[in-house]
């Protein structure tokens, strides 16, 4: 029964909030796009993690003893004719393994009794507009009946804390789903690469949206519900715009294409970037920068294992990139000094201005603290060499088996004085998804090659 998975997660959460806690969690709100059209509904990640339930207008109440109550849309034939099937409260206990279920229209009348006698009410802070005042309303109702013996919770706590920690370590079911999501995305990248060189060979005009269409087709063809984020398909100089979105840009023979795209499958994201020559053959300068980014990714992958810090892959990347920038003349040794000076002064930032990774899970930038919880008090202050700002450093998270993160170094060369012209407008990023293991990491997105010769071979066929 799949609902055993969600039962176990709710039981684990109940242990974390303690026997006298109670957790209240709504799913995501529906979002209007314009007039009668809504954005496609996607369940709230925390809510889905604990229930597997994808209908809108639903709430979970989990008591510290593990007893779970679901509030969901009531059965309504007329609405179901227009909007589709509703599970309804009568069928929910059997289908979802919850202990009780009621219509969401009864939420405000039933919630005070569910909170009564608990010492702390847990709900996600600062994530759902209006939730705090809703909780206040239920507590107010309980307090108004205090002379009849009600016991309102005295503490409000942020439910994101325990749930973020749970979600940070992916269980076997999650890892399996993420492997499948990354596999689909990898095939979509292969498809876009192939189409690109093929269309150019046939003398056709290629636009970024032609490649985006290939990605979307493959995602959907293999059962993914939607892209995990807005796909980036950036031709030529557009690759130097970090948050560029697939648009109508012309993909020109001789230029590179950067695609950062991943599907979401059954609630889990994938996040892959590949950069390839539009015509299937790297030029000399393109290949020199590509080899550098790939070498920096190898260094980051080698630094990713249980027991390492979250920042280790980034630091490894930066060392390789910075040395390459000096060797290739992107940075002038006479001006910026040695490798250590480049790192110390963050001179590499002109061409590499983002971090090397982030947690990946239900959300593409997934939840979970980047600071090691066991060392939270050990902060140090430092003056940033580039901006002069005072920054606080806290010990970075120690990686554990089952954490999933991206490894995504890049290099982005905007024209500037002293920067060799051959590299102008080249933007390269290589991004893979890694499951941390005891001895290293498992790259789950390598269904699409990163090796430049393998990319060229794939695009030739």
| 260 touching ligand GLY, by CB under 6 A | yes
Is 65 a residue of the active site? no
Q: Which of residues 224-243 bind ligand GLY (CB under 6 A)?
A: 229
Q: Which residues pair with 251 in a beta bridge?
A: 206
Instruction: Spell out the residues 6+ positions from residue 56 whose beta carbon is closer than 8 angstroms to its own.
Output: 27, 28, 29, 30, 41, 43, 73
Question: Of the two residues 187 and 260, which places its CB atom closer to Mn ion in the complex?
Answer: 260
Q: Which of residues 346-365 bind ligand GLY (CB under 6 A)?
A: 358, 364
Catalytic residue among 271, 366, 432, 456: 271
Catalytic residue among 365, 375, 393, 451: 365
Partner in contact with 264, chosen from Mn ion, ligand GLY, none, beta carbon below 5 to 8 Å by kind: none
- Least Å distance, CB 264 to Mn ion, is 13
Give CA separation, 406 vs 62, 307, 377, 431, 452, in Å: 32, 17, 27, 7, 20
- Burial code (b: 16+ CB inside 10 Å, e: under 16) for 386-423 equals eeeeeeeeebbbbbeebbbbbbbbbbbbeeeeebeeeb
Among 44, 55, 208, 271, binds ligand GLY (CB under 6 A): 271
Give CA separation, 105 vs 23, 26, 54, 111, 371, in Å: 19, 13, 18, 11, 41
C-alpha–C-alpha distance, residues 242 and 354, integer Å: 9
Q: What is the DSSP letter of 106?
A: G
Catalytic residue among 212, 431, 433, 456: 431
Is 274 a residue of the active site? no
Question: Of the two residues 58 and 411, which places its CB atom closer to Mn ion in the complex?
Answer: 411
Is 344 a residue of the active site? no
Return the beta strands (E) in 206-283 as ranges.
206-207, 226-227, 232-235, 250-251, 256-261, 263-265, 268-269, 272-277
Partner in contact with 209, chosen from ligand GLY, Mn ion, none, beta carbon below 5 to 8 Å by kind: none
Give the residue ranges of DSSP H helices in 33-129.
45-51, 77-83, 88-96, 107-115
| 433 touching ligand GLY, by CB under 6 A | no
Q: Which of residues 282-341 bind Mn ion (CB under 5 A)?
A: none
- Note whether 73 and 58 are within 8 A (CB): yes
Is 408 a residue of the active site? yes
Q: Which of residues 194-213 bind Mn ion (CB under 5 A)?
A: none
Question: Of the two residues 111 and 211, which places its CB atom closer to ligand GLY in the complex?
Answer: 211
Give CA separation, 66 vs 10, 101, 343, 441, in Å: 7, 15, 50, 34
Say how many C-beta atoms besides its own lie within 10 A of residue 92's C-beta: 22
- Least Å distance, CB 359 to ligand GLY, is 10
- Least Å distance, CB 360 to ligand GLY, is 9
Is 381 a residue of the active site? no
C-alpha–C-alpha distance, residues 28 and 35, integer Å: 20
- Least Å distance, CB 390 to ligand GLY, is 27
Among 208, 218, 260, 366, binds Mn ion (CB under 5 A): 260
Partner in contact with 279, chosen from Mn ion, ligand GLY, none, beta carbon below 5 to 8 Å by kind: none
Burial class (CB in 10 A: 0-12, 13-18, 19+), 381: exposed
- Least Å distance, CB 407 to ligand GLY, is 11
| Residue 112 CA from chain centroid, whole number | 35
Partner in contact with 229, chosen from Mn ion, ligand GLY, none, beta carbon below 5 to 8 Å by kind: ligand GLY
| 408 touching ligand GLY, by CB under 6 A | yes
Question: Of the two residues 209 and 229, which places its CB atom closer to ligand GLY in the complex?
Answer: 229
Among 258, 406, 432, 455, binds Mn ion (CB under 5 A): 406
Provide the annotated active-site residues. Answer: 36, 243, 260, 271, 354, 358, 365, 408, 412, 429, 431
Q: Contact positions toward ligand GLY, by CB under 6 A?
A: 229, 260, 271, 358, 364, 408, 431
Q: Contact positions toward Mn ion, by CB under 5 A?
A: 260, 271, 406, 431
């Amino acid at each position: 029964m799949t609902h055993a998975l969600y039962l176990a997660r709710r039981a684990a959460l109940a242990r974390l909030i303690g026997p006298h806690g109670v957790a209240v969690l709504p799913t995501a709100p529906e979002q209007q796009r314009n007039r009668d059209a809504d954005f496609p509904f996607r369940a709230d990640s925390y809510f889905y993690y604990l229930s597997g339930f994808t209908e809108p207008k639903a709430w979970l109440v989990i008591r510290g003893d593990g007893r779970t109550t679901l509030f969901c849309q009531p059965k309504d034939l007329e609405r179901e004719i227009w909007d589709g099937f509703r599970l309804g409260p009568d069928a929910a206990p059997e289908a979802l393994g919850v202990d009780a279920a009621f219509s969401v229209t009864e939420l405000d009348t039933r919630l005070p009794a569910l909170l009564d006698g608990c010492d702390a009410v847990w709900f996600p802070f600062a994530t759902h507009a209006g939730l705090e005042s809703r909780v206040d309303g239920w507590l107010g109702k309980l307090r108004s009946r205090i002379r009849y013996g009600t016991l309102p919770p005295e503490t409000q706590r942020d439910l994101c804390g325990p749930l973020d920690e749970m979600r940070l370590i992916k269980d076997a079911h999650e890892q399996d789903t993420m492997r499948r999501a990354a596999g689909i995305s990898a095939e979509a990248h292969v498809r876009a690469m192939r189409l690109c060189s093929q269309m150019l060979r046939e003398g056709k005009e290629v636009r970024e949206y032609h490649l985006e269409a290939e990605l979307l087709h493959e995602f959907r063809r293999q059962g993914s519900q939607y892209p995990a984020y807005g796909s980036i398909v950036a031709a030529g100089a557009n690759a130097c715009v970090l948050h560029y979105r697939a648009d109508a840009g012309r993909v020109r023979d001789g230029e590179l294409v950067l695609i950062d795209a991943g599907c979401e499958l059954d609630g889990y994201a994938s996040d892959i970037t590949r950069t390839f020559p539009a015509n299937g053959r790297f030029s000399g300068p393109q290949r020199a920068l590509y080899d550098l980014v790939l070498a920096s990714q190898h260094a980051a992958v080698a630094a990713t294992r249980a027991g390492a810090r979250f920042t280790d892959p980034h630091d490894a990347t930066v060392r390789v990139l910075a040395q390459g920038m000096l060797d290739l003349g992107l940075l002038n040794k006479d001006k910026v000094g040695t490798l250590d000076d480049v790192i110390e002064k963050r001179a590499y930032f002109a061409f590499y201005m983002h971090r090397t990774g982030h947690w990946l899970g239900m959300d593409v930038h997934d939840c979970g603290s980047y600071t090691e919880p066991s060392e939270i008090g050990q902060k140090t202050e430092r003056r940033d060499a580039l901006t002069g700002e005072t920054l606080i450093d806290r010990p970075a998270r120690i990686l554990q088996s089952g954490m999933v993160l991206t490894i995504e170094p890049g290099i982005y060369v905007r024209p500037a004085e002293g920067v060799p012209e051959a590299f102008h407008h080249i933007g390269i990023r290589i991004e893979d998804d890694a499951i941390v293991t005891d001895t290293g990491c498992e790259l789950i997105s390598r269904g699409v090659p990163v090796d430049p010769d393998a990319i060229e071979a794939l695009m030739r066929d």
